[in-house]
Amino acid sequence: MSLEADIVVVGGGIVGVATTAALAGALEGDADAEAGRAHASAAGPGMAAPRGSAGTGRVLLLEAEERLAAHQTGHNSGVVHSGLYYRPGSLKARTCAAGREALVRFCAVHGIPLERCGKVVVATRERELPALDELERRGRANGLRGLRRLLPAEIRAREPHAAGIAGLLVEETGVVDYGAVTARLAELARARGATILLGARLLRARREASGLSLETASGRVRCRLLVNCAGLQADRVARMCGVDPGLRIVPFRGEYYALVPGRRDLVRHLIYPVPDPALPFLGVHFTRRIDGRVEAGPNAVLALKREGYAKSSFAAADAWETLAYAGFRRLAARFWRSGLGEWRRSQCKRGFAAALQRLVPEVRPGDLVPAHAGVRAQAVSPAGELIDDFRIVESGGMIHVLNAPSPAATAALDIGARIADLARRRLAG
Ligand SMILES: Cc1cc2nc3c(=O)[nH]c(=O)nc-3n(C[C@H](O)[C@H](O)[C@H](O)COP(=O)(O)OP(=O)(O)OC[C@H]3O[C@@H](n4cnc5c(N)ncnc54)[C@H](O)[C@@H]3O)c2cc1C
């Protein structure tokens, strides 16, 4: 099979699918949709062409797996983040707020359950109070409505089983099934003429005078512009395209437990700790999922396989690439103590339960059963820094999403719209 497209999006997680939908003009309020439908560029000789997409010509999404949302998007906590944590003015702060609003509208229009249940962040020790103050300051700077400091009695009025010497109520947080959101985005993109190929891993890319020639697991594709949304493989896809990403993806597995059904009433909504400001992870927390299950987690354990969901998962190439990376070794030298603690908690349910008991003292190891796991794509710089903000880089006819960790699922509709704008300008220029 040989295909031709104007734009190829690599990766069928929520970021790639939202980008494809935006490029196809499938999203609510997309002003280019009608105009773009008229755009019909002819396929080259001997080439099958995806049907003309509205908005930006022919759009083709390549997904390596046989289904969409197979990795981070299908293995996350399902939280619609408010924007509390992020440095004001950062891309995370801006896209989280705009993406959350767009997501709430999208789910309402398309009948996808989304519950704006709010969450409480609880400080359980005096030394966490300055970080709680900083969260409140950031939340206000990021324009959150309904952000309120809670006294211990007010924490318990909302979450009767939670501990805490002080708390923060974040009303705008919610829960949703990101797999369902991705599936609906894909339907809309297809209806607008975008082509989505599953089992079509990008294997090689070669630059040509007028674009790129791509070799995939299901045939050749030629395109004018490539958008890399490959999540855990984003750095490798960039290198495959001849771009030095200037970072490496280091995978961190996050394991969850579920509360047994008879103990779900320990948690009404979402209960979070005050995160360690030095780390990009939020600390194990309780999440009531959209289907009523209550989960606890995720921890953050170095994964020895990028798409490895079991404790025993191992891929020699992935492990070697991480361990041989100077950036990782510098990171490990700084954080080995907390890394070891996470590893111990991963091996021992009692340790995991002890971390949760700080938030809800009544939780016992017997209340917890192992649930799913996810692997986070965390970009690390050669200097050993955990890259905090989203990183989207344009380079020679390509757009690479090199760092899209949490809250990228919340922010995906806004990230997709931004990438579609960049792509349109690039194709027009
Ligand atoms: C444990 C965990 C909990 C999280 N909790 C939340 C949360 O509650 N709220 C929130 O907003 N965010 C959360 N996140 C973050 C969020 O899930 C991610 O930021 C988001 O899903 C990233 O989407 P993506 O499309 O970039 O990546 P992915 O969903 O990983 O998709 C990338 C896709 O690219 C494909 N791919 C890779 N290489 C190739 C190739 N060569 N050719 C073709 N396809 C390829 C992969 O198969 C994959 O489907 C969490 C993440 C994890 C791991």
* Domains by residue range for the chain, with CATH: 2-72+179-246+389-428 (3.50.50.60), 115-174+248-380 (3.30.9.10)
- At residue 39, the pLDDT reads 36
Continuous segment of H or E residues that includes residue 219:
strand 219-228
Give the Cα separation of 121 and 132 in Å (integer).
8
pLDDT beneath 50, residues of the chain: 30-54
Burial label for 338, CB within 10 Å (0-12, 13-18, 19+), is: middle
- At residue 43, the pLDDT reads 30
How far is the centre of ligand 1, averaged over its atoms, from the C-alpha of 71 (Å)? 5
Query: Residues 412-425: pLDDT tens digits?
Result: 999 999 999 999 99
Any ligand 1 atom below 6 A from CB of 230: yes
Q: Would you list the DSSP string of 388-403?
A: -S-EEEEETTEEEEEE
Residue closest via CA to ligand 1's atom 21 equals: 73
Give the Cα separation of 11 and 306 in Å (integer).
15
How far is the centre of ligand 1, averaged over its atoms, from the C-alpha of 16 (Å)? 9
How far is the centre of ligand 1, averaged over its atoms, from the C-alpha of 14 (Å)? 7
Give the Cα separation of 166 and 47 in Å (integer).
63
pTM for the full predicted model = 0.93
- At residue 429, the pLDDT reads 77
Residue type, 389: D
Instruction: Answer yes or no: are the C-beta atoms of 43 and 32 closer than 8 Å.
Output: no
User: How many CB atoms are located within 10 Å of the residue 203 CB?
Assistant: 11
- At residue 28, the pLDDT reads 56
Residue closest via CA to ligand 1's atom 35 equals: 11
* Alpha-carbon dihedral 385, 388, 393, 398, rounded to 10 degrees: 100
Q: For tokens 């597995």, what's the residue?
A: 253
How far is the centre of ligand 1, averaged over its atoms, from the C-alpha of 3 (Å)? 26
Give the Cα separation of 133 and 156 in Å (integer).
20
Instruction: Answer yes or no: are the C-beta atoms of 163 and 286 closer than 8 Å.
Output: no
Pocket test residue of 19, 76, 79, 307 for ligand 1, highest count of atoms within 8 A of CB: 76
How far is the centre of ligand 1, averaged over its atoms, from the C-alpha of 232 (Å)? 7
Any ligand 1 atom below 6 A from CB of 10: yes
Any ligand 1 atom below 6 A from CB of 174: no
Residue closest via CA to ligand 1's atom 9 equals: 79
